[in-house]
Amino acid sequence: RRPLLRIESLKTHFFVDDGPVRAVDGVTLTVPRGKTVCIVGESGCGKSITGRSVMGLVEHPGRVVDGHIWWSPADGDQRSSAGGRNPLRRSRRHAADSDQDAVDLAALDPRGEALRRIRGNEISMVFQEPMASLSPMYTIAEQLIETIRLHRRMSKRDAYRLGVELLTRVGIPRAEQRMNAYSFQLSGGMCQRVMIAIAIACGPKLLIADEPTTALDVTTQARIIDLLAEIQAETDMSMMFITHDLGVVAQIADEVVVMYLGTVVEQGSVEEIFHDPKHPYTRALLASIPKMGVGARKRPETIRGQVPHPLNRPAGCPFHPRCDQAIAGVCDTSEPPTVELPNGRRVRCVLYDRELVTTAAKGDQAV
Ligand code: SF4
Ligand code: MG
């Protein structure tokens, strides 16, 4: 099956007075159908901008300057049955090269109709601040009904009914009463549920969730995560889940993409990342999680230093000032290669490039 979303060498830069900020600087990643891909990393690594780039919601003065965002809503299996009524259409679609059905979102006008239609119908996004995303001027019902009717031909009454159904679906008790409430009358957790209801109202194929639980207390967090996993299992929706919380990743991810300063440093399945992390940054991130149970009193290690501002991006490997394994003369001068390991995992670190490491070692001996 073709992946639902394939981001290739994406670059999103912000053109500020001091020069371009390379917030996303060559990101490549894949979101398979029906799976959850978590994008992790400390704040300021370009996770949110990657999500916003897919949606065409990068704020001024930023824009996508290079790369592709291949969007393939129809997969091969669905196509053959979807065209069932019209044999002509079916055969034509069958004959079509598979890539012809992929749209490059990066090539569409972010303010244009085509992207707006995809954004409303096929891709939805949930943000970190539920209160800020809802309007205080309109009731929950008004906001839900408007969204539903924007995407589905439906009478107000039917949209209202569907709204109540959706609120119940996301676990809001006494949904009918809540329909008439305003966002400020609801708790943060309730607002986030309403946002999720609005986001799934159009039956998206991809949900981009940007730190959707960060503003919530731990119990509510857990409920929202369960809820998203449930909806996903029922609908075969894919998720791009952006978070800095590795505990959440362990619960929800199929695949993990680790970002550092605008680049992907490592990607792999959730098992691979947690049990066999390769990149020094991933290892440092994992070492910084507080451990449960025995030895819990031992303080987690923190990663030395801080993420530099993208304007002061270090030369060579952007992680080298904080890396315990940095090789002098190599890591501080040349950008590390992205190495594909035998099982398909990708790591952007010189340690996995045999030739480079051997050359560096010989250089050391010579000195
Ligand atoms: Fe560390 Fe060098 Fe690998 Fe960068 S390339 S992560 S500095 S070892
Ligand atoms: Mg963010």
Sequence-distant (≥ 6) Cβ neighbours of residue 192 within 8 angstroms: 126, 130, 212, 213, 215, 216, 220, 224
If we measure between CA atoms, which residue out of 110, 137, 138, 97 comes closest to residue 54?
A: 110
Q: Collapse the DSSP code of 260 into the 3-class scheme (helix H, G, I; strand E, B; otherwise coil) and give the result.
A: strand
* Each residue's pLDDT tens digit, 11-42: 999 999 988 999 999 999 999 999 999 999 99
pLDDT at 342: 87
Residue 222 tokens read as 């857990």
Please tell me the least confidently modeled range out of 60-64, 302-306, 322-326.
Answer: 302-306
Pocket test for ligand 1, best of 304, 348, 349, 359 (most atoms within 8 A of CB): 349
Residue 234 tokens read as 């029922």
d(CA 224, CA 324): 37
Quickly state the pLDDT bin for 293 (edges 50, 70, 90). Answer: low
CATH 3.40.50.300 residue ranges of the chain are 1-122+205-313
d(CA 174, CA 306): 46
Q: What is the mean pLDDT of residues 135-156?
A: 91
Ligand 1 geometric centre to CA of 6 (Å): 26
Any atom of ligand 1 within 6 Å of the Cβ of 351: yes
Any atom of ligand 1 within 6 Å of the Cβ of 260: no
d(CA 79, CA 93): 7
- Neighbouring-strand partners of residue 339: 347
Any atom of ligand 1 within 6 Å of the Cβ of 52: no
Q: Which residue has the higher pLDDT, 215 or 285?
A: 285
Q: Average pLDDT, whole number, for the chain?
A: 87
**Integer Rg of the chain from CA:** 22
Relative to beta strand 346-348, strand 338-340 is antiparallel
Any atom of ligand 1 within 6 Å of the Cβ of 180: no
Ligand 1 geometric centre to CA of 313 (Å): 14
The H or E element that residue 67 is part of is strand 62-71
Any atom of ligand 1 within 6 Å of the Cβ of 317: yes
Any atom of ligand 1 within 6 Å of the Cβ of 326: yes
CA dihedral 278, 283, 284, 286 (to 10 degrees): 150
Among all ligands shown, which has an atom nearest to the Cα of 52?
A: 2
Q: What is the mean pLDDT of residues 106-110?
A: 95
CA angle at 95 for the pair 69 and 203, rounded to the nearest 5°? 45
Any atom of ligand 1 within 6 Å of the Cβ of 347: no
d(CA 128, CA 154): 30
CA dihedral 115, 123, 256, 315 (to 10 degrees): 20
Q: ipTM score here? A: 0.97
* Each residue's pLDDT tens digit, 318-360: 999 999 999 999 999 999 999 999 888 999 999 999 877 777 7
* CA 126 to mean position of chain CA atoms: 11
Residue percentage of the chain with pLDDT more than 90: 64
d(CA 200, CA 246): 25
pLDDT at residue 155 greater than cutoff 80 = yes
Any atom of ligand 1 within 6 Å of the Cβ of 323: yes
Which atom of ligand 1 lies nearest, measured to the CA of 336? 5
Alpha helices in the chain, H assignment, sequence order: 47-55, 76-82, 87-95, 113-121, 130-133, 140-151, 156-169, 175-178, 188-200, 218-235, 246-252, 270-275, 280-287, 354-366
Q: What is the mean pLDDT of residues 251-276?
A: 96
Nearest CA to ligand 1 atom 8: 326
Cβ count within 10 A of residue 174: 9
If we measure between CA atoms, which residue out of 133, 109, 132 comes closest to residue 119?
A: 109
pLDDT at residue 95 greater than cutoff 60 = no
Please tell me the least confidently modeled range out of 53-57, 213-217, 293-297.
Answer: 293-297
Q: Which fold has domain 1-122+205-313?
A: Rossmann fold (3.40.50)
